[in-house]
């Protein structure tokens, strides 16, 4: 999590409409990140939902593919897809089962996903539907006894054969084992199970996996691809401690590629959770991510990058009636703005990659991959936040891109600067003051925030282009665009379609004094691209 010194680049002054100018010197941003890794915008897909999102060889899900390749075209490499989540630790394997997945939903345990799951050989055909993508397959660690062992040894050959070297990113073993003793779905380890017990079990099973891969897919070993996202813990304050797992020898075999932790801002039904207080709140985001930065500091000696292998807005709490995300919160435009702030703060602070979690019927999902009795197929508001993040970061394969947080000392405003090969190229502004358009009067003017930037006159920037992330308000769930473009399913199955009624091609002039001003409406975001002479 080292910092980079980028030299004298720019001085910024942010001006709020109702406040005094705030000088922000970034002429030598010691807080800038290391270069951002490729595929920073990535996804995690719930194990039981993966066949819905991907389809199979005969009926591939082209809608999902279009949305994912849109992001790949912008950031220079496709998102990496982690297949896992709670249901990976419920799944057992039946070699004679014709169906890809047979799941039973027990409403007394969870109404969002099946908690009794059997997969057959055809499940793995879903890995054949999206050319040009890399995957992490999540293996079941939660199931003990012969069923768990038989599932592991039965599925490892299928996974390594279908995920040939060009498709395989890495593996994961177990989802959030730090909750195995306390899971609301039922404890699967005894109360005394500690970090040493977990590490012993993890090493025993990964060594078994290695033997199978050496036998059936030796190329995976030869190419150095037998590696893991680990330990996939749920958070920073549960019954197992990530620091202790490493001190107990988790990486004894040196097969961990990334330290993997998970993060959610809060519980969907926690008291006091609101769009403004919980999501559209820069301070809330900073506090949530900073918990992980404490871990990265203590884990620095491992030399391993630290990422979020599963994250999103509001997680499911303990009651069976609770849900993955909250209606009118997790699926709103306000959640899209939260996603931009969250991802860019992660990038600025050195989180190596962010996998946004998805699931069929999940309220926080970026898209619904198919129509069900509960949800209609379509692009959701958070997807537009994914597009904005990718656009701000740009093509990560074409140069070294670093990100710096511009501290505005504000709950409702956030700003970031992107440098490509040590030169400032883009500025992101996120305005998170909630604007509920359904409660405003028709003659009310939407408030906005004004920002003024002073650029050194000798840097040759005369114009700045603006790309806006816009909707009618923070509570909107439709009618969203980024740079005047819609990615809605009903227009062209998720491919970009410019909208005649949306502003695009906006150019701001830089004054002779090097000043450029921009207004950002409440509940919107803007990406400023410097046009160098």
Closest CA to 5 of 30, 24, 26, 27: 30
Say which of 46, 176, 255, 310 is annotated catalytic.
310
Residue 144 vs residues 123, 149, 159, 219, 243: alpha-carbon distances, Å:
22, 7, 20, 29, 25
Q: Please tell me the distance from the alpha carbon of residue 421 to that of residue 395, in angstroms, as a whole number.
A: 12
Q: Is 195 a catalytic residue?
A: yes
Q: Please tell me the distance from the alpha carbon of residue 449 to that of residue 522, in angstroms, as a whole number.
A: 7
Residue 129 vs residues 7, 50, 51, 68, 99: alpha-carbon distances, Å:
46, 11, 10, 12, 17
Residue 529 vs residues 6, 426, 515: alpha-carbon distances, Å:
19, 5, 15
Torsion of CA 337, 338, 343, 346, to 10 degrees: 140
Residues 96 and 308: beta-carbon distance below 8 Å: no
Residues 499 and 439: beta-carbon distance below 8 Å: no
Residues 215 and 158: beta-carbon distance below 8 Å: no
Q: Please tell me the distance from the alpha carbon of residue 174 to that of residue 48, in angstroms, as a whole number.
A: 14
Contacts of 529 (CB under 8 A, 6+ apart): 425, 426, 464, 465, 466, 467
The token pair at 469 is 């992330």
The token pair at 345 is 């703060």
Residues 519 and 445: beta-carbon distance below 8 Å: no
Residues 367 and 64: beta-carbon distance below 8 Å: yes
138-176 core/surface letters (b: 16 or more CB in 10 A; e: else)? bbbbbbeeeebeebbebbbebbbebbeeebbbbbbbbbb
Q: What SS3 state is found at 461?
A: strand
Say which of 46, 176, 195, 425 is annotated catalytic.
195
Residues with a known catalytic role:
195, 310
């Amino acid at each position: 999590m080292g910092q980079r010194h980028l030299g004298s680049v720019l001085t910024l002054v942010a001006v709020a409409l109702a406040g005094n100018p705030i000088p922000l010197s970034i002429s030598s941003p010691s807080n800038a990140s290391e270069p951002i890794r490729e595929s920073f915008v990535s996804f995690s897909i719930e194990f039981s939902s993966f066949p819905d999102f991907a389809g199979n060889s005969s009926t591939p899900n082209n809608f999902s593919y279009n949305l994912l390749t849109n992001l790949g075209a912008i950031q220079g490499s496709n998102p990496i897809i982690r297949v896992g989540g709670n249901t990976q630790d419920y799944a057992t394997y039946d070699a004679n089962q014709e169906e890809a997945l047979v799941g039973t939903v027990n409403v007394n345990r969870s109404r969002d996903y099946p908690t009794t799951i059997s997969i057959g050989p055809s499940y793995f055909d879903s890995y054949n539907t999206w050319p040009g993508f890399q995957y992490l397959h999540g293996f079941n660690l939660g199931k003990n006894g012969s069923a768990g062992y038989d599932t592991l040894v039965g599925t490892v050959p299928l996974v390594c054969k279908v995920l040939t070297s060009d498709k395989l990113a890495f593996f994961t073993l177990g989802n959030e084992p730090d909750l195995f003793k306390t899971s609301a779905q039922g404890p699967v380890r005894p109360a005394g199970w500690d970090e040493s017990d977990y590490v012993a079990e993890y090493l025993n099973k990964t060594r078994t996996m290695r033997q199978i891969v050496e036998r059936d897919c030796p190329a995976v070993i030869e190419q150095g691809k037998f590696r893991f996202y680990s330990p996939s813990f749920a958070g920073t304050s549960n019954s197992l401690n990530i620091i202790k797992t490493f001190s107990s020898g988790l990486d004894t075999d040196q097969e961990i590629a990334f330290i993997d932790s998970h993060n959610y801002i809060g519980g969907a039904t926690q008291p006091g959770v609101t769009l403004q207080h919980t999501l559209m709140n820069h301070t809330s985001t900073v506090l949530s991510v900073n918990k992980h930065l404490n871990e990265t500091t203590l884990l620095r000696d491992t030399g391993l990058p630290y990422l979020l292998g599963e994250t999103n807005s509001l997680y499911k709490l303990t009651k069976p009636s609770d849900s993955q995300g909250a209606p009118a919160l997790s699926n709103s435009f306000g959640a899209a703005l939260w996603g931009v702030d969250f991802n860019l703060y992660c990038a600025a602070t050195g989180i190596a990659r962010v996998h946004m979690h998805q699931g069929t019927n999940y309220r926080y999902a970026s898209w619904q991959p198919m129509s069900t009795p509960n949800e209609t197929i379509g692009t959701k508001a958070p997807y537009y936040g994914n597009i904005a993040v990718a656009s701000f970061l740009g093509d990560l394969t074409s140069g070294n891109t670093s990100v710096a947080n511009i501290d505005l000392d504000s709950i409702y405003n956030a700003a970031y600067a992107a440098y490509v090969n040590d030169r400032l190229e883009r500025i992101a502004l996120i305005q998170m003051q909630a604007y509920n358009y359904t409660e405003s009067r028709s003659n009310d003017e939407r408030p906005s925030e004004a920002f003024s930037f002073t650029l050194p006159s000798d840097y040759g920037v005369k114009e700045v282009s603006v790309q806006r992330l816009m909707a009618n308000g923070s509570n909107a769930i439709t009618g969203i665009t980024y740079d005047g473009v819609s990615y809605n399913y009903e227009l062209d199955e998720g491919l970009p379609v410019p909208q005649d009624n949306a502003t695009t091609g906006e150019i701001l002039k830089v004054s002779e004094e090097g000043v450029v001003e921009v207004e950002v409406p409440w509940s919107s975001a803007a990406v400023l691209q410097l046009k160098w002479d």
